[in-house]
Every structure is written in structure tokens, then in C-alpha cells.
Amino acid sequence: MNIFHTPHEMTAWSQAQRRSGKRIGFVPTMGYLHAGHLSLVAEAQRHADAIALSIFVNPTQFGPHEDFATYPRDEARDLALCREAGVAAVFLPAPAAMYAPDASVSVDESALQNGLCGARRPGHFRGVCTVVAKLFNIVLPDVAVFGQKDFQQAAVIRRMVRDLNFPVTIITAPTLREPDGLAMSSRNVHLNAKERQQALGLSRALASAADALRAGETSADTLRQQMRDVLEQHGLRVDYAEIADAETLSPVTTATPGNVALIAAHCGNTRLIDNRVL
């Protein structure tokens, strides 16, 4: 497995792969890998010949009071998992290799990012779009795989690729969950035993909205309140509990199958997100 620390080395490898006729699949991550990340690698392997995975905790997508410093990191373990999964190249840049001190260009999506996490985390999606655009230019993938776990992120990236004509096919892969329903996340490592139980409120709240819609409840406000109630019963602090159109991410008034329920909630000091297409 190749391990690259500079954009130059990464791009040289990708260009060589392309010259030899290989299709490159790409999985961008922030590391502390879990089975959800590895499922994206497996999906990429179905669409490409050589898989590149990046591990970069991108400082520009964290707000000043967010968890950049405490975001979990374990490079040795991540590399072992990548090797086992058949990843061909890991890109592990230091922040200084990615951003010039006087960097002054960024990518801004201005519609899909306005609500949900974009509204609560100002500048977050500018950081995400900018780093993903840079990674696409460095890795030169044919196909890139993103998780539905970050539903708004996947929508924003698809829009960026469409509007800026990146020659990359975006694939979205389903959310991998623990057996009890908790969406896998690198941040779950921060949960203590009590919080780990409370965190089940997210998937249960989503399930309660799905069940209620199936039983005929179409008032989105009723579904939102029901999700809030479940979250609060689990001792979680609600950031948002939304029912939205799956394409535009705009809140809906009347819920219909195909809408998406999205939640962000604080569990102790950890902010968790989850979503489910109804």
C-alpha cells in the first residue's frame, strides 16, 4: 500500500494509474476509521480498479469552538485497516501541505447548505467544499464515494460537482449502524456508557417519524415534535429535528414517503447527526 504525505506524490501516483488505464475510486475521510468507512471502500471497489483513501482532519471545516483538537486520531490503526481492505494508496497530508498560509480561494455552495448543519455550523460547508475540491484535484478520481450518514454533505458535494463540472461520479452509500441502531461515527468513541445509551435516541426518533408517517401522520410539524420528544426522553439536547425534501433539503409542511428526516443532537459534549429517508 502506498502512503503519501504531499499532494505532489499523490497526484503523480494517480496520473500513473490513469496512464495504465486504471479507474481510480476515492474515499475521503477524517480518519479514525470504522466499518462505515470500510463499506465506502468496498463500494468504491465495485466501481473502480484502484482505491485511494484520504485521512485529513480538515481544520477549515471546524468552527472555533468545535472539536478539531479533540477529534479522534489513530494513524497506525487506520493504515492497518486500509491495508486489510485492499486500499492502494492512502493520502495523509499535514494541514501545511494542504493550505498555503495566505490561501485566499474557497468554494461556496449557496442553496443546499443554508439550513440544517450549515445554519448551525457557519463556514462548515465552505470548508468541506474547498477541501473536497482540492482533494479531487489532487487525487484525480473517476468515482468518489460518500456516506448517506452525512446527508447534507453528500447533497452539497453533488451540487458542487454538477455546478463546477468536476469529472467525478459521486456515489452515496448507506449508513452503517451498530446492531442496536446507532449510526457508526468516529465521534462515538467519546461517548461514555450512559451517553452511549442516550445516543440511541437519534435512530429511535427517526424510526418513530418513519412509523408515524407509515401509520398516516402527514403533518411534518407533528413528526418534528415527535422526534424532539423522543430525543428529549433520551436526555439529548436537540440541535435540529427536521423533515425535508430529499433533493432541495427544504423543510416540508406535508410529509410524504421519500422525504428525509434529519437530526442533530448533543449527547454530553458530543454532537451527533443521523438521518433516514422516510
Residue ranges that bind ligand AMP, judged by CB under 6 A: 29-30, 36-37, 39-40, 146-147, 149-150, 173, 175-176, 183-186
Alpha-carbon span 63 to 216, nearest angstrom: 40
Going edge to edge, which strands form the sheet with 143-147?
Answer: 2-4, 89-91, 50-55, 24-29, 143-147, 169-173
Return the number of the residue (127 or 213) whose C-beta is nearest ligand AMP.
127
Q: Which is nearer to ligand AMP, 133 or 255 (CB)?
A: 133
Q: If DSSP codes are grouped into helix, strand and coil, which group holds residue 239?
A: strand
- Rounded least distance, CB 117 to ligand AMP, Å: 12
Nearer to ligand AMP, 14 or 203 (CB): 203
Q: In the complex, what is the shortest distance from the CB of residue 254 to ligand AMP, in angstroms, rounded to a whole number? A: 29
**Distance (Å) of CA 122 to CA 116, 128, 147, 172, 191:** 11, 12, 22, 24, 25
* Burial group, residue 189, by CB count within 10 angstroms (0-12, 13-18, 19+): exposed
Which residue, 10 or 272, is less far from ligand AMP as judged by CB? 272
Q: What is the 3-state secondary structure (H, E, C) of 125-191?
A: HHHHHHHHHHHHHHHCCCEEEEEHHHHHHHHHHHHHHHHCCCCCEEEEECCCECCCCCECCHHHHHC
Q: How is residue 23 annotated by DSSP? A: P
**For residue 181, is it left (φ>0), alpha (ψ between -120 and 50) or beta?**
left
CB 210 within 8 A of CB 237: no
H or E stretch covering 9: helix 7-19
Closer CB to ligand AMP, residue 173 or residue 209? 173
Residue 199 CB, shortest distance to ligand AMP, in Å, is 13
**47 tagged catalytic:** no
- Cβ of residue 136: shortest distance to ligand AMP, in angstroms? 14
Annotated catalytic residue: which of 37, 124, 190, 234? 37
Active site residues: 37
